[in-house]
Amino acid sequence: MLDRARPGAYRRPMSQAEPTGVTREEPHNGGNGLKSRLNWLRAGVLGANDGIISTAGLVIGVVAATPSRGAIITAGVAGLVAGAVSMALGEYVSVSSARDTEVALIEQERAELEADPEGELQELTDAYRAKGLSDETARAVAEELTAKDAIRAHLETEFGLDENDLTNPWHAAIASAVAFTVGALLPLLAVVLAPTSASQTARIVVTGVAVLVALVVTGSVSAQFGGANRVRAVLRLVVGGALAMGVTWAIGSVLGTHVGG
C-alpha cells in the first residue's frame, strides 16, 4: 500500500516492527484539545526565551558600543518589533504547512474509504491485530469503530490525528509574537530604566543579571511542562544566554572603539 506520508513510496506492513503512517507526533499548535493547549504553552515559553536572549544580546551590544540612550532605545525597539514579526511569520508558515499536510491526509483517507471500504476495514483490522489483539477481537473492534466513525478511527490509528483538533496557524503566530514581545521587554526595560548617571558597565551588569534570572524562570517552566530535568534545562538556557550576551558585548566593544571612536 502506498505511504500517505510520502506519495509514491510503499508503506511498511502493519505486522512489522515500525508503525505505519506519517507520524505519531502531536499537532504543533492550535485546536481545542489538551495536546494543542500544551503546545501553545511550549511555543510561548520558547518565544519568551528567544525574546529575552536575542534582545538582551542586541541591547548589550549597543550599550557596549555607545552610551547614547537614543541609540539603545532605537535598537532595542527595532529588535523587539522585528523579532516579534519574524517569530509570528515563522510560526504561521510552519504551522500552516503542518495543517495543509493534515488536511490532505484527511481528504485522502476519506477518498480511500469511499473507493475501497472493505480494504480499509481490513487495514484497520490489521492495525489492531498488530497491537496484540486476536484476529476475532481485532475484526470486531475494527467493524465497531468503522460503524461509529470510520474516518476518525483510521486517522487516529494510522496517523494519530483528530480532524477536530487540527493545527491553527493564527493561534501559533499570535502566541509566539506575544511571548517574544513579553520576553524582549525585560532586557529592554532593564537598560532603558537604568539611571541616566549609570555607567555603561553598570547598565550591562544590571541587564545581564535581570536576563539570567528571567532565563532561570523560563527554563524551570519549560522543564515543568516537558517533564525534563529542571537543572539541565535551566543550565542550558543560562549558559546559552550568557554566551550570547558575552559575544555581543565583545562585538559592541570592538565596534564602538574602532568604528565609532
Residues 13-36 have pLDDT tens digits of 333 333 333 343 443 344 445 556
- Which residue's C-alpha cell is 539570567? 212
Residues 194-204 have pLDDT tens digits of 777 677 788 88
CA distance 68 to 76: 12
Residues 35-82 have pLDDT tens digits of 566 667 767 777 888 999 999 999 999 988 888 888 889 999 999 999
Cα dihedral 88→90→92→94 (10° resolution): -150
CA distance 209 to 201: 12
Residue 3 in this model has a pLDDT that exceeds 90: no
Residues 76-118 have pLDDT tens digits of 999 999 999 999 898 899 889 988 988 988 898 889 888 988 9
Q: Where are the domains of the chain?
A: 34-250
CA distance 90 to 84: 10
